[in-house]
Structure 1
Amino acid sequence: MRTNRRSFLAALLAASAVPRLSWADAGSPSFLACAREADESYALYGLTEGGADTFRVPLPARGHAGAGHPTRPEAVVFARRPGAYALVLDCAGGEVRHRLTPPEGRQFNGHGVFIAGGDLLVTTEQRAEDSAGYLGLWSVTDNYRRIGERPTGGIGPHEVVRLADDTLVIGNGGIATDPADRTKLNIPVMRPNLAYLSPEGDLLETVELAEDLHFNSIRHLAVGPGGVVGFAMQWEGDPEAIVPLLGLHRRGAAPVLASAPEVEQRVLQGYAGSIAFDRTGAEVAITSPRGGRLHRFDAAGSFLGAVTRADVCGLAGLAQGFLMTDGSGGVLMSEGEAVRPLARSPRNWDNHVIALSV
C-alpha cells in the first residue's frame, strides 16, 4: 500500500508530538542506589541531594552498581559481581526495558558507563577461563544491541569511567577468579593497573604501581576537574601491612598515592569501597565499610580528616562535601568534620551511589 504525502506528514507530526521523558518524570533524582529491603527483596532507588526517595524499581536479585542515562530516565543495573545479566530499567514507569546478557564464557563485573551523549553503553566484563578483561559495547539507539568489544589491557576489570572527551578509564583489579565461586587464583603474581582507552578502543596509557604495591587491587574510580582520576584500592597482601588505598593520576604523570596517619590508615583494614570528588574538585574521599570510616583528602592527596560511620560505603560528591549511605539504611551528608543525617529507611544500602549528570 502506497503512503501519500499527506498521511506521511501526519505520521511525522504525530511522532514529533510524543513527549520525550526526562529525569524530571522520575522525580528529578540526583543519585541512584541499590538496596536490600526489610523483606529481603531488592530495589533500585532514586535519591535527591536531600536524601529523599524519588522512585523505586524492584530488582530480581542484589544489584551492585549501575549507570544512569545522561538525558532520559533510564538506568542500567548490574547483578552482584560476577553477574550474567544487566537490566535496563525505565525509572519513570518502573519497568524492565531490556535484559542484557554477555557473550558465552563472559561475565559482567558490576559497572558500566554511557558515552557518545548516551548513544553507547560500555560495560566491564571478564572472560571466565582466564579473567582477561573486556569492555562490551552496546548500541542504546538500537535497543541495546551488542555491537562490539575491546580488551581492557588487564585482568579482572572492575569500574570504568569516562573523561570529558569520552576517553575511557578502567580499573583492572589484577585478580583472576574462579568463575563459579570467585576464589582468587593468582594473588602471588597479581598485577593491577589503571588503563586509558580511546573511544575507538586504542590503549593510550597503562599505569602500574611499584613492585612492593602489586597486591593493591585497583577497583573503583572517580573523575575530578581537569581529568584527574582518583582510584580506590583493596589490599590483598600481608594484612598487617599499612599501605595507601587512594591514588590520584593525570595522563602522562606518575600516580600520587595518599594515606591517612598510621593509626587511621590501619582502621581501614586494607579496604576502600567507594571514591568520589566533591563538585568543586577541592576534596576527594574514600569510604571503608570494614573500618567504618570516610577519609577526606585535598586535591594534592594531603589528608584532611576522618568521619566515623559504621558500615559506610556509598559515596557521591555534593557542591560542598559528600553524600554517604550505609548498610543500616542511613543517608547522610558530610561537610568537613560535620555529619548531618538526611534520611533513614528500613533497608540496607549496597556499596555504591551513582551520581547522575543531569
Structure 2
Amino acid sequence: MASRRGFIAGLLATGLAPAATWADAGAPSWLSAAGLPDGGFVLCGIGPDLNLRFRIALPGRGHAAAAHPTRPEAVAFARRPGTFAVVIDCAAGRQTAHLAAPEGRHFYGHGAFSLDGRWLYTTENDYDAARGVIGVWDAAHGYARAGEFGSGGIGPHEIRRTPGRETLVVANGGIETHPASGRTKLNIPLMRPNLSYIEDGTVVDSAALPGSMHKGSIRHIAVSALGEVAFGLQWQGGEDGPALVGLHRRGTPPRLCTASEADLRAMQGYVGSVAFTAGQRDVAVTSPRGGLVQTYSVADARHTASTSIRDACGVAPCRGGLLVASGTGALQRIGQEAARADHAALMWDNHLVAV
C-alpha cells in the first residue's frame, strides 16, 4: 500500500495523472479512528470485506471523521474537547492540513462537508459565551477559516447534511462545559437539547424535546434518504430516562421510540452512535456501556431487536444489514449476510463513517 500511495502521489505531483478518487485509496466503504496497543492512534479505511484499505497515524485520539464527497480526503477530529482536526490524503497516506480551533473554542469531534465538498462545517464550543458555533473552513484553499455561525443551541455535537441538499442538521446536546472544569457538566438542571436545521448560516427550524425529557442530551444523529432524522440520547438524570431514541421530520413534533423498561435499562442511559439500516426501515443505536445494538422500527417507533456485542459503538449500514465496530477490535456484520473480522491490534473508536 505504501508504494502504491507513493507512486500515485508522484504522478499527481507531476500532473501526469487524473485527479485521485476514493478508488486510489483502496475504495474503502467506511472510515474509523482507532487506538493502538502502544498508545498511538490511527485513522483506518475499511473495505466491504472488512479488511483494512489503509491505516494512517493521527496526532491524538480521534472521534469521528468527515469524508470528502469527491476526492480521497478525510478530516479526522479529536475527541471532545479537542482542539485539532487533521486533513488526510488517504491515497497518498499523508497529512495535508491541520485545523486548529480558534482561541476560546474547542471541537466536538464531528464535521460535515457541503454538497460539492467546497466547505467543511465543524461543531464547536464557544465556552466563555456558553454557546454552540458552527465553524466554516474553505476546503479549496487549504482549509482556511472562512467564517462561523450559531448552532442554535448549547453543546452542538454531531452535524449532518441532508442528502442532496445544503441543509445542515445539528444535534445540540444542551450541556454547558468549560475546559477549566474538565468534562464537568455545568448546567444539567437547565439544559435544553434540540435539533437545529440550518440553511445559509441561519437556523430555519428547531425541534426540542418535551420538558420532561430535558435531561436527554441529543448527541448523535443519522439522516435517511428522505430527510428523516434519527437521534440518540445520553440521559443525564439520576434515574432511567423514559426514552433514548427518537425520530424527527421537519414540521412535525419529535417521535420518541418506545421500548420495554428492561430493554431501556440495558442501554445504561447511553447511545453512542446511530444509523439507519440499509433498507431504511429501521434505525440502529449502540451502547458501549450496555454492550448492545438495538434496532427500532421507523414506521411505528418501537424497539424490535437487541444484539449483544461487547463495547459496541460505531455502526453503519452495509449490504444486508449493519456493520458494528467494537473497542475490542471486532468488526461485525449483522443481518442477512452475517460476518466478522477481528483486528486485535486496533481498538475502534466511537464512529463508523460511510465513504
| Interval containing the TM-score (normalised by the shorter chain) | over 0.9
State the alpha-carbon separation in 1 of the partners of residues 15 and 42 from structure 2.
33
State the alpha-carbon separation in 2 of the partners of residues 27 and 285 from structure 1.
27
Equivalent residue, structure 2, for 1:191? 192
Equivalent residue, structure 2, for 1:73? 72
Equivalent residue, structure 2, for 1:41? 40
1:259, distance to aligned residue in structure 2 (A): 3.0
1:303, distance to aligned residue in structure 2 (A): 1.6
* 3-state SS, counterpart of residue 153 of structure 1: coil
Equivalent residue, structure 2, for 1:321? 321
Cα shift readout 1:55-89 (whole Å, capped 9, x = no counterpart): 01001110011101011111001111111111001
Equivalent residue, structure 1, for 2:286? 287
Residues 51 and 343, structure 1, Cα contact 8 Å, conserved in 2: no
1:345, distance to aligned residue in structure 2 (A): 2.7
1:299, distance to aligned residue in structure 2 (A): 1.6
Cα shift readout 1:81-116 (whole Å, capped 9, x = no counterpart): 111111001111111100011221111110000113
Q: Classify 1:249/1:160 alpha carbon distance in 2 versus 1 (closer, same or farther; 3 Å).
A: same
Equivalent residue, structure 2, for 1:174? 174
State the alpha-carbon separation in 1 of the partners of residues 183 and 36 from structure 2.
25
Residues 235 and 241, structure 2, Cα contact 8 Å, conserved in 1: no
Matches within 5 A, 1:1-358: 17-164=16-163, 165-180=165-180, 181-198=182-199, 200-238=200-238, 240-300=239-299, 301-335=301-335, 340-356=339-355
Residues 69 and 115, structure 2, Cα contact 8 Å, conserved in 1: no
Whichever residue aligns with residue 142 of structure 2, its letter is N
State the alpha-carbon separation in 2 of the partners of residues 105 and 138 from structure 1.
17
Identity of matched residues, %:
45
* 3-state SS, counterpart of residue 212 of structure 2: helix
Whichever residue aligns with residue 216 of structure 1, its letter is G
Residues 70 and 117, structure 2, Cα contact 8 Å, conserved in 1: yes
Whichever residue aligns with residue 183 of structure 1, its letter is T
Whichever residue aligns with residue 322 of structure 1, its letter is L
Residues 243 and 270, structure 1, Cα contact 8 Å, conserved in 2: no
1:195, distance to aligned residue in structure 2 (A): 0.4
Whichever residue aligns with residue 135 of structure 1, its letter is I
State the alpha-carbon separation in 2 of the partners of residues 145 and 61 from structure 1.
21
1:139, distance to aligned residue in structure 2 (A): 0.9
Q: Cα RMSD (Å) of the superposition? A: 1.5
Whichever residue aligns with residue 186 of structure 2, its letter is L
1:162, distance to aligned residue in structure 2 (A): 0.4
Q: 4+ runs of 1 displaced by more than 4 Å?
A: 14-17
State the alpha-carbon separation in 2 of the partners of residues 15 and 35 from structure 1.
33
Cα shift readout 1:32-61 (whole Å, capped 9, x = no counterpart): 000011211110000012211000100111
1:298, distance to aligned residue in structure 2 (A): 1.7
State the alpha-carbon separation in 1 of the partners of residues 259 and 140 from structure 2.
45
Whichever residue aligns with residue 345 of structure 2, its letter is P
Equivalent residue, structure 1, for 2:10? none
Aligned length: 340
Cα shift readout 1:177-204 (whole Å, capped 9, x = no counterpart): 1223121100111111100001x11111
1:153, distance to aligned residue in structure 2 (A): 0.7
Structure with the greater alpha carbon radius of gyration: 1
Residues 22 and 72, structure 2, Cα contact 8 Å, conserved in 1: yes
- TM-score (normalizing by structure 1): 0.92
